């Protein structure tokens, strides 16, 4: 029987997380090709409630316009927080906080500008050589997401994205270039960011333009099958080169909860949970779950599998499971009877027991413990919290400092529940707070939705010095890490 423990493991991976398309900038530097993320613009003239519209569905006309050098739109993810030119300073700051790990993504189109080339872009590889060497100086373990909402645009426009089985070959080639070049310094990999969000925003996740689909769900689930196969193949390849390295899957998990004890709500909640767990089930267990046949049939989906697909899934499941956790999703079988709320990639029934963030995300630290126990019971594999954080309006106070007690409170409440989960026996190996430095929001493309311990002087339209400034939470987190989660 597993020994009881009431402290975080000795080598717990405390750190922070970003994504290339939200932090780097340098969108057309160093030989980088356009990515799907470079097509998202921010329009302050729109009403605030519409700032997330592109995220929910990026119209084909917007994609075409992004290709026009004369376009007058502002594309925030092309500039990010300008990590591309500030990486040395930023990594020093991460080191000052005492990070044990830094979750980051490699921009696929920096390595293969179109995605279908035979040979990688050496300048892109050199950029990441610098990053990994600098992280090593501070003893910070890189956790690398191979694809995080930034696949090469050409794969979307010329191949139809992941619904084209050829993209497996391109992704496997890309991942093997990363393993061979960086595998001596990178021991933790994730194949796809929030792979379950394929269902919610297929363009940024799969390169699928839904206007071009006869049956979008058929294409989305077929494309997801290709990603499952690709994930298994690169897990195989990584272990061949570096047997000790770990490859993980990653889902966005809002821990769906039933609105009431009405049995219909519980059934609806189970179905909603499976809309996410379907993806981690296949990657972590290595086979399609029993409920998949009915789930796909009822959506009019008929998967096409090649001989050997299911064998490779079974042979190479991931080594750990990771997830992003910001809020929970309350589910009612009769949503029309209740108030709804927006949130990370979806809308749900408002949970009357929870407070909301300034962006309407319902904050639920206690269910993080439930989610951790559920995933631990389901997969019996190491678990990592790949994202957790509070997007908020941070301001520079009279004293020139940035006081963010709300962010400290949010994180304290979640870390307390993480420790309860550790006491419950959950094999929790790491926590990388989302947006450890202010970056461009995925869903609204705003810089003003700030997550960081480090403030970046830039506004939603890219104006500012891009100077970095520590917030109060910077020193607070440094102490959390120093005390291994004892001093909150
Ligand atoms: C997740 C993404 C991250 C990050 C986070 C916060 O879905 O994996 O890239 O952006 O959400 O969401 P947002 O940036 O929309 O506030």
**Which ligand 1 atom is at minimum distance from the Cα of 19?**
9
Contact between 155 and 207 (Cβ < 8 Å):
yes
Distance 371 CA to ligand 1 centre (A): 19
**Which ligand 1 atom is at minimum distance from the Cα of 55?**
15
CA–CA gap between residue 208 and residue 220 (Å, rounded): 8
Per the listing, tokens 């000052």 go with 96
Note the pLDDT of residue 170: 99
**Which ligand 1 atom is at minimum distance from the Cα of 449?**
16
Domain-wise residue ranges, the chain: 13-482
Q: Tokens at residue 264, please?
A: 């219909």
The CATH classification number of 13-482 equals 3.20.20.80
Note the pLDDT of residue 457: 98
- CA angle 458/454/23 to nearest 5° reads 60
Q: Which residues pair with 157 in a beta bridge?
A: none
Q: Which residues pair with 248 in a beta bridge?
A: 190, 320
Measure Cα distances from 133 to 20, 29, 85, 122 in Å. Answer: 17, 21, 16, 16
Note the pLDDT of residue 343: 67
Distance 151 CA to ligand 1 centre (A): 16
Note the pLDDT of residue 358: 86
Shortest-distance Cα residue to atom 5 of ligand 1:
442
Note the pLDDT of residue 341: 86
Shortest-distance Cα residue to atom 16 of ligand 1:
441
Ligand 1 pocket test, pick from 442, 449, 460 with the greatest ligand atom count within 8 Å of Cβ, gives: 442
Note the pLDDT of residue 342: 73
pLDDT along the chain (488 residues), means of 10: 96 98 98 98 91 92 96 97 98 98 99 98 98 98 98 98 98 99 98 97 97 96 99 98 98 95 97 97 98 98 98 98 96 93 75 90 96 98 98 97 98 98 98 98 97 98 98 98 98
The string of pLDDT tens digits covering residues 307-361 is 999 999 999 999 999 999 999 999 999 999 999 887 665 668 999 999 988 888 8
Note the pLDDT of residue 273: 97
CA–CA gap between residue 25 and residue 74 (Å, rounded): 13
Determine if ligand 1 sits within 6 Å of the CB of residue 21.
Answer: no
The H helix count followed by the E strand count for the chain is 16, 16
Ligand 1 pocket test, pick from 16, 387, 446 with the greatest ligand atom count within 8 Å of Cβ, gives: 387
Distance 442 CA to ligand 1 centre (A): 5
Cα–Cα nearest to 249, from 204, 200, 202, 284: 284
Distance 163 CA to ligand 1 centre (A): 24
Distance 328 CA to ligand 1 centre (A): 15
Ligand 1 pocket test, pick from 23, 197, 252, 324 with the greatest ligand atom count within 8 Å of Cβ, gives: 324
Determine if ligand 1 sits within 6 Å of the CB of residue 391.
Answer: yes
Determine if ligand 1 sits within 6 Å of the CB of residue 156.
Answer: no
Note the pLDDT of residue 359: 85
Distance 362 CA to ligand 1 centre (A): 15
Cα–Cα nearest to 325, from 417, 419, 420, 245: 417
| Residues with a known catalytic role | 194, 387
Q: Tokens at residue 48, please?
A: 């605030």
Ligand 1 pocket test, pick from 388, 434, 450 with the greatest ligand atom count within 8 Å of Cβ, gives: 434
Note the pLDDT of residue 345: 56
**Which ligand 1 atom is at minimum distance from the Cα of 359?**
16
Contact between 124 and 38 (Cβ < 8 Å):
no
Contact between 466 and 458 (Cβ < 8 Å):
yes
Cα–Cα nearest to 361, from 383, 386, 387: 387
- CA angle 319/179/320 to nearest 5° reads 10
Q: CB neighbours of 236 closer than 8 A, spacing ≥ 6?
A: 312, 315, 316
Determine if ligand 1 sits within 6 Å of the CB of residue 150.
Answer: no
**Which ligand 1 atom is at minimum distance from the Cα of 440?**
14
Shortest-distance Cα residue to atom 14 of ligand 1:
441
Determine if ligand 1 sits within 6 Å of the CB of residue 441.
Answer: yes
């Amino acid at each position: 029987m597993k020994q009881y423990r009431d402290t975080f493991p000795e080598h717990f991976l405390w750190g922070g997380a970003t994504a290339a398309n939200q932090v780097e900038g340098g969108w057309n530097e160093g030989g980088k090709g356009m990515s799907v993320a470079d097509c998202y613009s921010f329009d302050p003239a729109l009403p605030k409630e519409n700032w997330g519209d592109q995220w929910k569905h990026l119209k084909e006309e917007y994609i075409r316009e992004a290709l026009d050098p004369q376009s007058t739109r502002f594309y925030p993810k092309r500039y990010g927080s300008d990590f591309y030119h500030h990486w040395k300073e930023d990594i020093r700051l991460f080191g000052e906080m005492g990070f044990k790990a830094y979750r980051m993504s490699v921009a696929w189109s920096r390595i293969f500008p179109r995605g279908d080339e035979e040979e990688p872009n050496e300048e892109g590889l050199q950029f990441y050589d610098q990053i990994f060497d600098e992280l090593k100086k501070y003893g910070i373990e890189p956790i690398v997401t191979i694809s995080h909402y930034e696949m090469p645009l050409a794969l979307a426009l010329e191949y139809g994205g992941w619904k084209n089985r050829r993209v497996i070959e391109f992704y496997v080639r890309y991942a093997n270039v990363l393993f061979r070049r960086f595998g001596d310094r990178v021991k933790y990999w994730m194949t796809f960011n929030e792979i379950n969000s394929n269902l919610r925003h297929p363009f940024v996740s799969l390169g699928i333009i839904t206007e071009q689909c006869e049956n979008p769900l058929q294409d989305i689930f077929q494309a997801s099958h290709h990603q499952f196969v690709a994930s298994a193949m690169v897990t195989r390849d990584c272990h061949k080169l570096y047997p000790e390295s770990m490859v993980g899957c990653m889902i966005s998990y809002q821990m769906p909860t039933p609105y009431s004890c009405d049995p219909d709500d519980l059934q609806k909640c189970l179905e909603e949970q499976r809309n996410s767990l379907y993806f981690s089930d296949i990657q972590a267990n290595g086979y399609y779950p029993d409920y998949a046949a009915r789930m796909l049939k009822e959506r009019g989906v008929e998967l096409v599998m090649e001989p050997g697909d299911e064998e490779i899934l079974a042979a190479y499941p991931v080594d750990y499971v990771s997830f992003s956790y910001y809020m929970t999703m309350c589910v009612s079988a009769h949503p029309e009877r209740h108030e709804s709320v927006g949130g990370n990639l979806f809308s749900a029934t408002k949970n009357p027991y929870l407070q909301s963030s300034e962006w309407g995300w319902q904050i639920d630290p206690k269910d993080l413990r439930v989610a951790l126990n559920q995933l631990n019971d389901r997969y019996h594999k190491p678990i990592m919290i790949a994202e957790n954080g509070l997007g908020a309006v941070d301001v520079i106070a009279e004293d020139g400092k940035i006081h963010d007690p709300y962010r400290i409170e949010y994180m304290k409440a979640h870390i307390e529940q993480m420790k309860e989960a550790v006491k419950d026996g959950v094999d929790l190996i790491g926590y990388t707070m989302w947006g450890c430095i202010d970056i461009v929001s995925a869903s609204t493309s705003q810089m003003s939705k700030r997550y960081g311990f480090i403030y970046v002087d830039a506004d939603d339209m890219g104006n500012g010095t891009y100077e970095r400034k520590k917030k109060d939470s910077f020193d607070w987190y440094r102490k959390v890490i120093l005390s291994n989660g004892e001093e909150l």
